[in-house]
Amino acid sequence: MSAWGTHTLADIAEALRDGTASARTLFEIAAAAHASDGETLNAYRVWDGEHARERADAADKAFKEGRDAGPLQGIPFSAKDLFGISHLDTYAGSPKVLPDKWSAEGPFIKSVLNQNAVLTGKTHQVEFAFGGLGTNAHWPIPRNPWDAKDARVSGGSSSGAGVSLIEGSALVALGSDTAGSVRVPASMTGTVGLKVTGGRWPLDGIVPLSPTLDTPGILARTVADAALVYEVIDASCAGRDMRDTPEAADLGSVRLGLCETHFWDDCPTDIATVTRQALMISEKGGATMLDAALPEVVQAYELFRQGSVVSSELKAFLESELPDWIETLDPNIAFRMSGAIDIDSGEIDDRRKRMDEMMKSADLRFADYDVLVSPTVPITAPKVKDVEDGKDYSAANLRALKNTCIANILGLCSLTMPIGLDEAGIPVGLQLMAPGNAEDKLLAVALGLEERLGTAWERLGPAPLGA
């Protein structure tokens, strides 16, 4: 982000408070970045420049009057277009505006807005968040900033979120994650993505895909930034700082579990090599690498391939709330939802019961290690032209979500962090997974790894497009 591109949120927050930066100047830098690359990258469904300037000026006025609403005051952020924002329409990736009720702000978005953060706009997404690549038949497809020659997908379903960070038009991006919809775009764009445990944060004010598996999430430029935003949003964090924990300060106390089953199967050599090199550096930094058996992974993936409960819950939601939207569905979305047609309520209840059993069993496996590690996305972000055919799309979509969906099905919390570039020059992410409601441990370990491995701008350098 130009002058602030290699500064953490904590650094920027301090500058806003000591007067060496202003919220208005920070936003104008963001606006200039969007003006420069916005038409190329297509991050936003709507850019909210005028309103953002007003919020930036209000944040500066509050600083001058000694009013400080929290660490995000004056910080530019983007929001996925399934979050209700009172003054903006919500489309959720569909071709027409949703009823007014879906513009009502929920507690998650309010927790950020109430800190006087500066909303830059609503980012593009896969229609009703049902896809891992980031394509959409109704809207311009966000372009992955790491390929200046060919248009590649940026990951979905929060497809514009990571792009907004690399573009430099936002310092934080809010998304949602049902099977990887925060972590996949974060991995493909070289940013950090955090999925919290299901049920930890409220879903009110968010257009649903699958209430059973949906979670709001955070995309940020560094693990330190993600941890700061997590602390702001999560009420349980009052007075605590993950950076002060032993795992963040010293990898010598960190146990990394390596599960060779599933996560590494069919992973391209270049992505596997980058991931294993990062783990070797972590070991040299003191972390202990342990073999991790997690047989529930195979069961979870098989359930995901069957549609788990997602397609059925989306079908039920559309039939109940938005029946007129069904006939205009993106063909890829309609095809995936069609798998729910012959699934009765008894089968859905059985799948939920199986997930509950797998969650309890998987939690017990973490007794011997702190986090499970794997490649986040075991494919290179495809070129848009290579996934235009429905069959090619389906195959790539399944592979993109292969590793991330496990955390959702097993009730884990999870984070991805950038660790390098593959042979095509596209970012590679390292996925960390921890038991449900172990976000503090997850973030502390990730902070320790970032300290050893370096930040995204140190490991990846600048993207060919964007900031």
Burial class (CB in 10 A: 0-12, 13-18, 19+), 323: exposed
Query: Which residue in 181, 187, 282, 374 is the catalytic one?
Result: 181
Neighbours of 54 (CB within 10 A): 12
Q: What is the DSSP string of 420-435?
A: EE-TTS-EEEEEEEE-
Contact 173, 161 (CB under 8 A): yes
Alpha helices in 168-218 (DSSP H): 183-189
Peptide bond into 78 cis (omega under 30): no
CB 242: neighbour CB atoms within 10 A?
A: 25
Phi, psi of 383 (to 5 degrees): -70, 145
Radius of gyration of the chain (CA): 20
Nearest residue to 115 via CA among 150, 75, 153 = 75
In 3D space, the residue among 193, 111, 185, 113 whose CA is nearest the CA of residue 143 turns out to be: 185
Residue with tokens 């469904």: 45
Measuring CA to CA, which residue among 289, 271, 303 is closest to residue 420? 271
Q: How far apart are CA 381 and CA 97, in angstroms?
A: 29
Q: Which of these is catalytic: 22, 94, 111, 157?
A: 157
Q: For residue 449, give Cα distances in angstroms to 27, 88, 218, 347.
A: 31, 39, 19, 42
Beta bridge partners of 372: 257, 433
> Residue 47's closest CA among 16, 79, 72?
79
**How far, in Å, CA of 426 to CA of 133, rounded?**
14
Asked whether 213 and 179 are in contact (CB, 8 A), the reply is yes
Q: Is 80 a catalytic residue?
A: yes
Q: Does the active-site annotation cover 308?
A: no
Catalytic site residue 157? yes
Among candidate residues 22, 80, 176, 315, the one labeled active-site is 80
What is the phi-psi region of residue 70: left when phi exceeds 0, alpha when psi lies from -120 to 50, beta otherwise?
left
Q: Are 81 and 119 in contact (CB under 8 A)?
A: no
Amino acid in the structure at residue 129:
A
DSSP string across 106-125:
-HHHHHHHTTT-EEEEEE--
The residues annotated with a catalytic role in the active site are 80, 157, 181
